[in-house]
Every structure is written in C-alpha cells, then in structure tokens.
Amino acid sequence: MCPKLLIAKRFNEMLRQISYITLTYLIISVFWTTFAQDASQWHLPEGAKARLGKGWIADVKYSPDGNKLAVASGIGVWIYDAHTGGKLDLLSGPMDDQGPMYDGNHIAFSQDGNTLASANLNTIRLWDVTTGKHIRTLNGHTQRIYSVAFSSNGNTLASASWDDTIRLWDVTTGKFLRTLNGRTASNRVRVSNVVFSPDERTIVGGGSNHEVWVWDVTTGKFLRELNTGHGNKITSVAFSPDGRIVASGGTRICLSDATTGKHLNTLHGHKDWVYSILYSPDGSLLASGSRDGTICLWDTSTGKQLRMLIRHAGAVNSVTFSPDGKKVAGEYANGTVCLWNVNTGKQLYTLNGYTVGVVESVAFNLIGSDGATLASGNRDGTIRLWNATTGEYLRTLNGHEHVNSVAFSPDGNTLASG
C-alpha cells in the first residue's frame, strides 16, 4: 500500500477513535448530570421521573408518630406516607449546574416528629417536617459526619464526625454547646455512632477501634469505657429503653452494662459486619442489620435469635422499628427500603426507585403508636419522608451535599440532618 494512503487511513482511523471517545465522554457527562439532578424539579411526566430514578439511598427513618417514612437519597429527603407508601414530599436544597446541592447520608427524627436532621459531608441541616422547609444549618465539623442523634426532649443534637470530635448543639438556636473529649482533653475521639441515654444524662459512642465510650452530657466529661468483647471497629450502638444496657455491633453483637461497663453477653448469628442495631420500643426485641444481607430479631431477655429476615437485596445498612414495635424497616444496598411484620416475618411492602447504592440512615417519627412517618437519608443527597403504614411517599428534603445521618426532634416538628 502507498505510504501516503497508509498514513491517511491511519489518520482517519485515529479521528474516528477520537470522535468515539469524545461522544462517549459527552454521553457519560450528560447522563451523570441527568442522574445527579432532581427529576421532580423538571416538571417531567411521572413515567419519565420514575425512569430517571430517585438517587442513591443513604438512610431510612420512621417518624415518631408512625405516619411518615423518610428516605435520605442523593437528591434530597423523600417523605412517604407510611401507611400507603405514597410519596408526599421531596425536601431538597437549591440547584446548581451540577444538580441539587445535596447528598444525603444520615437522618434522624426528633421525638415529637416535627423536626428532621440530616448530615452531609461536614454540615447538619434541620428541617420542618410539616412544611418541608429548611430551618437552619449547623456548621463546625471539618470532616464527614457519620451520625446524628436527638436527645429525648429534642433540645440537644449530638453529631459524630471523623474530624475526631463529637459536638453538641442547641436545636432551638443552632448554637454550638460543647465538644466531647477522650480520657483527657488531648485525646482524639474518632466515633462513627452516637446515641443519648433515655434519661439524657449520658452519650455513648463507638468508633474506628473496638472501644465504646460514655460521656456526661452536661459537662462533656469522659466517664468510662465499656467492656464490649469486640476485637474490631464498632459499626453501631444502641441503648436499651431502660438505659441499663448498651448494645454494640461490629463483627458480632455485644451487650454491656451501661453503668459498670461489664460485658454481659455476645449474640452470634450474622456472617459479616453488623451495620445497624436498634431496640424495640418496649425493649423486648433487638433488631440488627448486616452486610450479610439479613435482618435478625433477638429476644433481649435470653439473647436467642427469634427470626432472620432475608431479602437477597445486598447489605442491610440501617434498621428502624415503628413506634408500636410491630414493623421493622430496613434499607438495602440495592437501593430499596423494605418493611417487615415483626411477628410473622412477612414482607409488607418495598419502596423502590432509588439508584443502587448505600442508604446511610433511617428514622421513625416516634410520636403516636403506629409509627406513621419514616425518614430515610440517602447518598444521592435526599431525605425522603414516607407514610410507614401504607408506603406512600410524602415529600423530599434537599439542602446539602452529603447526608450521613438524620434524626427527628422529640415533638416530631424538626428533622436534623448532617
């Protein structure tokens, strides 16, 4: 072949490759931008919105009254009717050229169900659940926030971050109150899970090593370390309703005396990391969700495993009980939220439409007896509220880049996110 023709042929082939690469890049860029944005903002037909999806799931929570279910996702917080499963609202922040300025991970309802907290990379947002309006933003952390929790009276919010601090905030004013230190003021505390004791006097946290710590809420003073029996990092912590026992999850579940720190029992059954644990409202059951894809229900008086809920939908990242203890919600790595009947183990309904990913946090609104609202915080930046009885979507909250944790205020009027 003539050298000039060969050069021309190779040049044309190179142009075709460049064009193909450029076209591929443009397709990916357009697709990614489309995926990141909140389809509901475009006023598209419902079918188109469904195909575009609702983003990554990060967390799921029931409202205290049991009427709503919040699902935190990458485009905001979706609010569902917990009875019908119908969508009620989308709580979301402002849009920029890359999509909604929000990426949700962890959410929590206040005790009264009126407030929702959502945690992003390093900020916390508080939401009015009734109106869907953003109340205020709490700034101060310098690294990703992994957990938020309301005190039972709803006046104080705790946040744990990988900037090695646990911070306490005044919910009404948004004022920073204090930082919880380690054994000495110079100790760094890397905690990824925090929870208030029922009497609000202490906070328990577990983190990157095998330790679980207890602090005095009023003074911020470190009180004690619990003997858990863990040999690896702590992935979840929970107080029993009477405040006497602290359950901690890692590669197994360990129970410790909250006052003396003594190790009481170890629960075996999961085959992988336990990502979430929670006591039922009456304290008779303990629910645990694991990376092995199962939810286990345990008898707290005997330590016996009562039931294993299996769905084959990937890791269970978060579990939450309805306020009446009759239902348990789990969020799965495949982008779904599933509600189960605790007594029968029957699957009630599934909330779909999310991008495959990680749901970081779920929370029930605890006001009322039927667990009517469920909030979920998602990696795609949304917090969704649902009716926990029907599965009906209520609304979505958007507002910041990455929701790691959510919590309802005790009166149910405010939701905090971080």
- Judged by phi (left if over 0) then psi (alpha if -120 to 50, else beta), residue 112 lies in alpha
pLDDT band at 256 (very low <50, low <70, confident <90, very high): very high
16 and 120 assigned to the same domain: no
CATH of the domain at 80: 2.130.10.10
Cβ neighbour number for residue 187 with a 10 Å cutoff:
11
12 and 127 assigned to the same domain: no
Per-residue tokens: 384: 């969704």
127 and 197 assigned to the same domain: yes
286 and 321 assigned to the same domain: yes
9 and 52 assigned to the same domain: no
28 and 97 assigned to the same domain: no
What is d(CA 61, CA 67) in angstroms, rounded to the nearest whole number? Answer: 11
Residues composing the chain = 418
Whole-number pLDDT of residue 91:
81
pLDDT digit string, tens, across residues 30-76: 333 333 333 333 333 343 334 334 556 677 788 888 888 888 877 77
Per-residue tokens: 337: 């939220």
In the chain, % of residues over pLDDT 90: 36
pLDDT digit string, tens, across residues 98-112: 344 444 568 888 988
pLDDT digit string, tens, across residues 196-244: 999 999 999 987 777 899 999 999 998 999 988 887 888 899 999 999 9
What is d(CA 389, CA 82) in angstroms, rounded to the nearest whole number? Answer: 4
Contact 361, 377 (CB under 8 A): yes
DSSP code for 161? E
- Specify the residue for token string 């009630």: 348
278 and 172 assigned to the same domain: yes
In three-state secondary structure terms, 272 is: coil
pLDDT digit string, tens, across residues 136-161: 999 999 988 888 999 989 999 999 98
224 and 357 assigned to the same domain: yes
Q: Print the domain residue range for 119.
A: 44-417
66 and 193 assigned to the same domain: yes
346 and 377 assigned to the same domain: yes
DSSP code for 298? E
The pTM of this model reads 0.75
314 and 288 assigned to the same domain: yes
290 and 365 assigned to the same domain: yes
The count of structural domains within the chain is 2
Residue 69 φ/ψ, nearest 5 degrees: -125, 125
The torsion defined by the Cα of 166, 417, 211 and 322, in degrees rounded to 10, comes to 140
